[in-house]
Amino acid sequence: MVDLKANPFYLNDEQIAWVEKTRSAMTDDEKAEQLLCPLMFTDDEEELKSIISAHNFGAVMFRSGVAEKVQRNLNAMQKVAKIPLLIAANLENGGDGVANEGTSMGNQMMVAATDNEERAYQLGKICGREGSALGFNWSFAPVLDIDMNYHNPITNVRTYGSDYTRTIRMGRQYIKGLTEEGIAPCIKHFPGDGVDERDQHLLTSVNTLSIDEWEATYGQIYRTMINEGALTAMIGHIAMPAMEEAVSGQPCNEVIPASCSKNILSGYLRGKLGFNGLVSTDASPMVGFLSNSVRREAVPLCIEYGCDVLLFNKDLEEDLMYMKEGIKNGLLSRERLEDAVTRILATKAALNLHTKHADGSICNGAEEMKQIACEEHLAWARGCADEGITLVKNVQNILPLSPAKTKKVLLEILGDFASNQRVQKQVVDILEKEGFDVTVYVPETFETIFLNQAVKDFKKKYDLVLYVANIETASNKTVSRISWHTLFGAGNNLPWFVKEIPTVFVSFGNPYHLLDAPMIKTFVNSYSNAPHIVDMTFEKLFGKSEFKGKSPVDAFCGRWDTRL
């Protein structure tokens, strides 16, 4: 059984007594419910109260929304909960992970590009302050994956880059800032994403490192965070044959996601690394979890093998039935059930949720709302952008941009995300305010593709082409590369004109676009499309502020031609 006085819980006698008394009073059905962390799809207060009153969930996840409404809903759930809830959110980038109005500090790669550990600490503080102000107490961050493979479409700017030592430096500071505000961190995604170029949302991806390679990189990260007291961890639907073999001593001849691997969970994470805290699966509706076993068995077995919490559900009542069946038929042993419930309750006790629940202080009000997008947080975010935006390539020496040199601009927005319209409007407004004449690229049609395409006419019409890539990292995208608008390989979306007129490329997402546009001579990575980052990027392009960022990845993708 778990040692509640040891790292990471460090519980006192009173806290341990609450854990043991609470666990002892629970039925098996209530313990089964405690193992679940469903996603709350509704924001209707009465419906939420009804759901929580009817179940004994250990945790829930709540998506961001209007701050006051989110706070009100979280308060309502905690008031009716029999046992205080762990309430989780994706607090990776700032308070915007919980509130629409929250502070967007910038993603982890933006923070890494500052090479300033204080910025990582500030990110943790913003997430902690704004998250706890609304009632959240569990952050599904930091992302400790290493961006080893520039083709990976899901790690990318969510990581602190490709250097594991930077990941350690930044990750520990995020955790420090977060935990100071009473929120539990969740180190993820063990055993480590970013090696494979595929997305575990769509299949079981594979970490192909040898155990020695893993220990020298990911192992250093996880050992550091575990030794320093990280309270919870998230397990990816990522297979790692070398880790399987290191524990079993036998060749690994099947694809086993870490979330369903006894060798990886109990043998390596719990055993070899000594992690004593709470373990959650990644989202269980992912194909990486679903496609390797029968769900009726996988639901209880992921707990039996070492997880404590099943994250999300394909169908809530069905998953709950599978968990209860597993307890009755022995797929989930009595020992492991008690151990998992103990760790869940111990996490709550370590956060003092039981005392806050008892005295009512677990609920928040108007005073706490003052933390949301407060001036200090906004100043930190602007400072991070100032230090992080990176001039990767400047071969043609066109900077700074000015209407005196290149007044007529063809603006090309790349990407098909919902934020495109917002980004385009902001960029156009900035350019026009500065005195540029802006034409937004309109894709050619079959009828017009070869009309009015003389080079001399193009050069008369435009003095500068500005590409703005708004290609965000998103789940269920197999790639995050450029999809050009092309017909017969023609058209003005393609950068055929780089030798004819100055061409500048700015990425507000994926930092690796030089792979697809190596001919472009001026290239900037801004990592995130938050409005203050867009503003700061153009201040630097106009020469009003210097570029200070240092790329935390090889933006040239190991290629020769991308540097020229």
- 29 by Cβ neighbours in 10 Å (0-12 / 13-18 / 19+) ranks as middle
* Alpha-carbon gap, residue 370 to 130, rounded angstroms: 9
Distances from the Cα of 158 to the Cαs of 46, 137, 284, 491, in angstroms?
Answer: 35, 21, 20, 33
Q: Is 126 helix (H, G, I), strand (E, B) or coil?
A: helix
Residue identified by tokens 């350690």 is 168
Which residues carry out catalysis? 282
Q: In Å, how far from its chain's centre is CA 549?
A: 21
Beta strands in 114-200, from DSSP E residues, in sequence order:
138-139, 186-190
Length of the chain: 564
Structure tokens at 70: 């989110």
The DSSP line for 455-502 is HHHHHHH-SEEEEEE-----TT-S--S-----BTTBSTTS-TTTTTS-
Side chain identity at 275, as an amino acid letter?
A: F
Number of C-beta neighbours around residue 360 at 10 A: 10
What is the 3 state secondary structure string of 236-294?
CCEECHHHHHHHHCCCCCCCCCHHHCHHHHHHHHHHHCCCCCEEEEEECCCHHHHCCCC
For CA atoms 475, 480, 482, 484, the dihedral sign is negative
